[in-house]
Amino acid sequence: MKCDMHVHSYYSGRCTTPFVSAFCRESYSHPEEVFETLQHRQMNLFTLTDHDSIEGSEKLRRHPNFFLSEELTCRMPSGTEVHIGVYDFHERQHVHLQQRRNDLPALLMYLTERQLFFSINHVFSSLTGRREVEDFGWFHEYFPAIETRNGHMLPKANAQAAQLARRWHKVGIGGSDAHALPSAGMTYTHVPGARNKQEFFEGLKSGQGRVRGESGCFAKLTRDVFVIAGEMMREKAWTVLLAPLAFAVPAATLWNYRDERVFLRRWSTELLGPSGGRKRAGWSSPPRRAVEEWA
């Protein structure tokens, strides 16, 4: 079975980029369109991972192979922000996840007690801002999965994420991170031989999952930004006045990937370089003690 485990819809909310956030959404893809696109691209299981929302999922829950997921925006104990994919939960659990997303020990206890599957997404990306060494200690100790192929991360970032997952003995998952329909279903997770959702997740946890499909690149991201801009102008006619700013899109995309390369170089060297394979002082006991004290 194949599943794009990281895909967004209209219900991911407003864009977080300064200035643009005042009038543009993260995605204009309607849930039904996302489902049809994933189906066309031969996915067998379906989900949405909107930012801190399951509203779009309400429109798809009638489909037998659809399950609830979301991408939590979480505050780490260090004060940094990360995106955590949480998969296959009940509607009432969404409220509890949202209540705990800024208290990582509480969130981890809840996820573990309910035996929910979760991952750290785009681990080598600057998308959510800065990172601290201790953040990776939490990922190492408590996260069962790492997103090892993201459809908008550069190939090297995905390769380094896969290397980290192997070194830490984590489950690797893949997803398109599509905010526009052309990218949906182009990156996914495949569990050979799985016949239903239960077997899919059992296969993932036992190491049978395989990531497949595209990584990111300048042309692909630029295309999707233009698709989002076109949908924005269709929804809000006045934003056509911003059309001249389209000339800045390629430059912004290039600058984004420049930041991504700097971030990747710093943290892949830190974690995977000559000394990066050793468990660092303070990684294990402080995080574990924090969770036990919360319990």
Which CATH number covers residue 103?
3.20.20.140
Task: Return the pLDDT at 273.
Answer: 84
Task: Supply the range of the domain harboring residue 9.
Answer: 2-294
* Tally of domains within the chain: 1
Q: What is the pTM of this model?
A: 0.93
Spell out, as residue ranges, where the chain has pLDDT lower than 70.
274-295
Task: Return the pLDDT at 280.
Answer: 53
Distance separating the N- and C-terminal Cα atoms of the chain = 37
Burial zone of 274 (CB within 10 Å; 0-12 exposed, 13-18 middle, 19+ buried): exposed
